Chains A and B, each alone.
Chain A
Amino acid sequence: MKHSRMVNILFVAPCVFAFLMIIIIPFLFGLYYSMTDWNGVNNAVKFVGLKNFKDLFSKPDFLYSFLITIEYTVINIALVNIVSFSLSLIVTSGLRRRNFYRAGFFVPYLIGGIVLGYIWQFILNNILVDIGKTLSIEALRVSFLSLPNTVIWTMSVVNTWQYAGYIMLIYVAAIQSIPASLMEAASVDGANFFTRIFRILIPMMANAFTISLFLTLTTSFKQFDMNLTLTNGGPATRFLDTPVKASQLLAMNIFNTATANQMAEAQAKAVVLFVVLLVVSLLQVSASKKKEVEM
């Protein structure tokens, strides 16, 4: 049967329609509203050009959120990928009950971010503090969530606990697709464990790193649910001589601006987030792609 243009269009139409209505049009509206003074309800919307964007960069809370989001992303990419790569090495090493471990490491990913945040908040604020009190361990007496300088690290650890299992599966699949003969040949030639990993395994699975880095980068940048329930932005800290919320990542900053009925300003922040995320992830993907090898 010959393809006809009409049939093609008809088949694609529902998807294009949905994509237009749900992604493209709201996106364009968003761009438009970021250049207005809209408060979310008022129909008399005034166009103010780039004023919202200019104002953003004089707001300490936004600048701070921006910086710690970058910091959080860097910490998170490193932690999640190191942990999940190590896990994937462990569960592909011919360990007994490896399927059980694979499932076990993956389970935290199935817990939603909201629930997970509350669970870890309880562990960090109550259980660890009580253990610290009972055993007189000074370092545990104060909740890790109330230390403004390290709260990002705590969030990152919790995120790693959740996300590492998922990334691990990607690495496991990549490791299993490498022919066993390659690894055997290397060990016959006398390459030790680390040489085999760094000279053969990692170059051969570079495409898995591309996708894993991309996933961790984008999810860390957009982190919201766990942020809301685990720390709610707290505790407070000082930045540019203004008290700000020490763990309020960019997405939460946008949310708090929007719920304070500053819709246009929140929209401008969202556009900034989008542009930065787009640029950074394109750079990352193109850089990682160069490292990939053809099998």
Chain B
Amino acid sequence: MRKTLITAMTIGLMVLAIPAAVFSSGTKEAPKTATVNMFQLKVEIKDALDAYAAQYSAAHPGVTVKVETLGGGADYGGALKAKAQAGRMPDIFMIEGRGGYNIWKDYIADLSSEPWAKDTDLAFKVDGKVMGFPVAIEGYGLAYNADILKKAGIDPATLTTRSAYENAFKVLEAKKAELGIDAPVAMAASVAGGMWWVAAQHNLAVYWGGGLDFNDTSIIDMALKGKLDDARFLQYAKYLQLLFKYADKKILLNGSYDDQVGSFAQGKTAFLHQGNWVDPNLKQLGVTFKMGYAPHAFLDTPEKGLFLFAPSWYCVNSKSPNAEAAKAFLNSIASTPEGHDYMVNKAGMIPAFKSVKLQPAGQLSRALMEANARGGNYGVFFGMLPDGAGQNVFGPIFDLFAQNPDNIDQFISDMKKAVANLPNMK
């Protein structure tokens, strides 16, 4: 009896060991064929990208591009770390700024000599070297409902200074019942609704880059050393105060993304503080009114530009044997008609490459593309901040200011303190 048992267990253990042995030796790849593994986080373009990868693989014998998508609130960074620890680092992966670059820099290949690098202003650059392929252009100003503004007698072209905004908001506030709106602005700032990024990231970017040259990072460089430009920050705080005071309180303090966009789509607010990524949402909600972007003009002197940025970049894994195939795939997106068609028509993005001539469908995206062609826009630099600064440090400060917008001195002193601590947060 005992012997049988031991024999059975031994056999059992051996059976368990067989698959392990098989799998560990079975992953060798045949030469000449390359499989490019891409790991990306934009859930909204998953289908378009999968289709493009399949099309590319079919057109290039010997190369297979496999796309894996994880995002939309899922922990992309965590999953990528797990892959790296498991020795399965993808050939193409994404970073969302300086923080991601610092973590992954050992894996990021230099792409300076790629043909697309000269065709864009938005490549991810470190010390003059191109390290990341811009996935798209995103951008924002203050989106307005042209119909409501027309009824209220406001010309959006005049909204180029803070005082112009103040007057416009006053007019809208006074005519609320007549226009059928709840409040002039749909703005969100709540930690609870997960909307800290609208205020503490996108709106704060107005202070970092507004009214400056597109690549002028002087203000944020100063902040990274722990200092605010007091005069400039006071103007910014007054502008933010204006937005908070004339915002729909429920959306501001508790609203989610859907509440905020929904209110604008239903014509319950005249302005929306969101970027062109709301185009598909607005289409879904059946919006028919005309809209456009007014600048975030927070200064006393006129500003006309919008904020343009690449939200994320593709990086090529420099340690991968398939790095060349990966570079070729990215190049095909930037420089072939099929790639352009994929970016603009299939994925609905605004390409960051000047040679692309196709027009996007959404009204806000088109406004942004026109602004890009016109020039004079502002850079978005919040990606240079240390990880967690927006969510864990600035987020609560903006939430608190939204709860009590009269307390502007407290907001300024809180921000001063938080910025002074930035150099200590790696």
Contacts and interface: CB of A to CB of B under 8 A. Distances in A.
A257 B386 CA distance: 12
A40 interface: yes
B174 interface: no
B400 A243 contact: yes
Interface in A216-253: 231-238, 242-245
A226 to B, nearest CB: 13
Contact of A236 (B9, B104, B106, B191): B191
B98 to A, nearest CB: 12
Contacts of A293: none
A261 B388 contact: yes
Contact of A41 (B104, B399, B417): B104
Interface stretch (A2-10, A74-82, A156-164): A2-10
Interface in B1-38: 1-2, 5-6, 9
A256 B192 contact: no
A168 to B, nearest CB: 30
User: For chain B, which range describes its interface: under 10, 10 to 19, 20 to 34, or 35 or more residues?
Assistant: 35 or more
Nearest to A1: B1
A262 B388 contact: yes
B195 to A, nearest CB: 9
B258 to A, nearest CB: 11
A146 B399 CA distance: 10
Contacts, number: 95
Contact of A243 (B9, B193, B250, B399): B399
A125 interface: yes
A256 B392 contact: yes
Contacts of A143: 250, 253-254
A235 B192 contact: yes
Interface string A120-139: 00000100010000000000
B194 A232 contact: yes
Contacts of B194: 232
B134 interface: no
A232 B193 contact: yes
Nearest to A244: B396
Nearest to A263: B81
B223 to A, nearest CB: 17
Nearest to B424: A55
Contacts of B426: 39, 262
Given A41-B84, A256-B388, A234 B6 contact: no
Contacts of A146: 190, 192, 253-254, 403
A26 B75 CA distance: 20
Contacts of B192: 145-146, 231-235
A1 B392 contact: no
A83 to B, nearest CB: 25
Contacts of A259: 75, 77-78, 388
B400 A261 contact: no
B139 interface: no
A42 interface: yes
Contacts of B77: 40, 259, 261
A7 B103 CA distance: 49
A231 B193 CA distance: 8
Interface residues of A, number: 33
Which of B9, B191, B253, B403 is packed against the most chain A CB atoms within 10 Å?
A: B191
A234 B2 contact: no
B399 A6 contact: no
A7 B391 contact: no
Contacts of B103: 39-42, 261
Contacts of A10: 6, 9
Contacts of B104: 41
Contact of A256 (B99, B254, B391, B400): B391
B81 A40 contact: yes
A146 B414 CA distance: 21
Given A1-B2, A145-B192, A129 B250 contact: yes
B44 interface: no
B1 A235 contact: no
Contacts of B191: 232-236, 245
A233 B396 CA distance: 10
Contacts of B209: none
Interface in B412-426: 414, 417, 426
Contacts of A244: 396
B399 A235 contact: yes
Interface of B: 1-2, 5-6, 9, 75, 77-78, 81, 84, 99, 103-104, 106, 190-194, 250, 253-254, 387-388, 391-392, 395-400, 403, 414, 417, 426
In the A-B complex, the 10 residue pairs with the smallest Cβ-Cβ separation, listed nearest first, are A260-B388, A234-B192, A234-B191, A236-B399, A236-B396, A243-B396, A236-B400, A260-B387, A243-B397, A261-B387
Given A7-B2, A233-B191, 9 more contacts: A145-B254, A235-B192, A235-B399, A236-B191, A238-B400, A259-B75, A259-B77, A260-B388, A261-B387
24 contacts: A1-B1, A7-B2, A39-B103, A41-B103, A41-B104, A143-B254, A232-B192, A234-B191, A234-B192, A235-B253, A235-B399, A236-B396, A236-B397, A236-B398, A236-B399, A242-B414, A243-B396, A245-B395, A256-B392, A260-B387, A260-B392, A261-B77, A261-B99, A261-B387
